[in-house]
Amino acid sequence: MPLSGSLLSRRFSISSRDHQGHTPTEPESPMLPPSSNVTGSSWSAMLPELLSEIIRRVEDTEDHWPLRRDVVACACVSKKWREITQETVRSPRNSGKITFPSCLKLPGPRDFSNQCLIKRNKRTCTFYLYLPLTPSFTDKGKFLLAARRFRTGAYTEYVISLDAHDFSQASNAYVGKLRSDFLGTNFTVYDSKPPHNGAKPSHGKASRRFASKQISPQVPAGNFEVGHVSYKFNLLKSRGPRRMISTLHCPSSSPPPSSSTDQKLCDATKMMKKPIKDGSGLTILKNKAPRWHEHLQCWCLNFHGRVTVASVKNFQLVATVDQSQPSGKGDEETVLLQFGKVGDDTFTMDYRQPLSAFQAFAICLASFGTKLACE
C-alpha cells in the first residue's frame, strides 16, 4: 500500500520526537498518547473517503503487535483521524485484536481464544498481563494490565491498572480491583466504570477519592460491582482440585446500531446494558470437572499444551448460564477461560466471549494465594 505507507512514514518522522527533540521511549501500556495539535492542517483536511481507505488498509495489514501500533498512531494524528480509526477498527469480539485500552473491557473473540501470559513478581506482589507476540512462554509481548496485591486490615485487594507503576485508585490508569474476604475464598470484582446505565458505585474511601478527582461528570467513576468469584469449602479434605464458581455481569455482545456515531466498537461506554433488577443478564461460570488418570495417579484436564506444570491453581471455566447465547444457556463443553502454570512465576490465561480481558484477569488473580479451607 504505497499511499498509506508513505503517509505513515511521514507521520512517524514527525511524531518520533517529542517537544524537546528527544526520541520518547515506548509506553508501558496500550494507552493512547495525546492527540497531536494538527487541527486545520493538511492532515485533518484530508477527504474522509481517502482517509478511511488509508486507515482500513493499515488495519487490515498491521494485524499483530508491535506492527499494530501504526493503527494507534493513526488515531493520534487529530480528532478526525481518531474518530475514523475507531469506526474502522473492528471489535475484539469479531477480530480478536486488542488495539485501544477500552478493548480490554469488551468481550473476547467468539470462535477462538485470546492467548495471554501472566508474569508474577513475588517480591513486589505484582502481576503483569501480556499479549504474547510469539508462541514462546518466555516472550512477554505487549503489556496490557498490571495488578498489585495490598493488605487492607483483614482483607486483600488486587488493584488493577493500565500503568505498570501506578496503582492509585484515584489515577486515570485505574481499571478496577478484586477484593477478598477474610478467608480468601470469596472475591468481589469491581470496575472503575458503571457496567450499565443507572449503576451505583459502592460506598467506601476509594469512592470518595474518585468524587474529588473525577475529570468528566458525564462518565461516572468509582467502584462498581460487576462480579463475584467463590471457592467451595472442602470440609472433608477429599482429594481433588479446587471447586469454584463465578458470577459476572459481562459486556454486551449484541451488535451496535448502524449509525456512524454508534460504530465506535472500541468505546466501552457504547456497550452498556440496561439496569438489571431480577438477576438476569448474568453469566455464571463453574470449573470444569477433571478426570482421574489411573496411570498418572492424578487429576487431569486437557489444556492442549498451554499448561505444562501441575498446580492446584490450574483451572478451566465453562458456562452454566451464558447471556451471550440466544438461549441464555451455557455450553458446558466449551472452555471460556483457562488458567495454568508454565513456570515458577509464569502462567497462561486464555479467554473468549463473553469474558473481557479485564474480567478474565480478575478471575485468575483470585486463584493466587493459599486457600486452606478449599484444598
Instruction: Please give the grid coordinates belonging to residue 256.
Output: 451496535
152 shares a domain with 81: no
Same domain for 79 and 140?
Answer: no
Domain check: are 156 and 86 in the same one? no
Q: Is residue 9 part of a domain?
A: no
Q: How confident is the model at residue 237, as a pLDDT?
A: 54
Residue 119 pairs in a beta bridge with 128, 346
Element containing residue 91 per DSSP (H, E): none
**Residue 120: which pLDDT band, with cuts at 50, 70 and 90?**
very high
Same domain assignment for residues 146 and 72: no
CB atoms within 10 A of CB 351: 26
Domain that holds residue 55: 48-90
Q: Is 145 in the same domain as 228? A: yes
Tell me if 57 is assigned to some domain. yes
301 in a structural domain: yes
d(Cα 91, Cα 68) in Å, to the nearest integer? 14
Which pLDDT tens digit goes with each residue over 36-67? Answer: 444 456 777 788 888 888 888 888 887 778 77
Same domain, 144 and 76: no
Assess if residue 19 is contained within a domain: no
152 and 286 belong to one structural domain? yes
User: Can you name the residues that pair with 155 across neighbouring β-strands?
Assistant: 152
Any domain includes 11: no
Number of domains, the chain: 2
Q: How far is CA 52 from CA 79, 257, 260, 320, in A?
A: 14, 19, 13, 42
Measured distance CA(108)–CA(284) in Å, rounded: 16
Residues 163, 70 within the same domain: no
Is 130 domain-assigned? yes
Establish if 143 belongs to a structural domain: yes
Domain presence at residue 97: no
In this predicted structure, the answer to whether residue 76 has a pLDDT above a threshold of 80 is yes
Q: Indicate whether 176 and 62 sit together in one domain.
A: no
The domain that holds 237 is classified in CATH as 3.20.90.10
Name the residue with higher pLDDT: 186 or 292.
186
pLDDT digits (tens, 9 = 90+) for 1-41: 444 444 444 444 434 443 344 433 444 444 444 444 444 56
**pLDDT, tens digit (0-9, with 9 covering 90-100), for 343-363:** 999 999 999 988 999 999 999
What is the model's pLDDT at position 348? 94
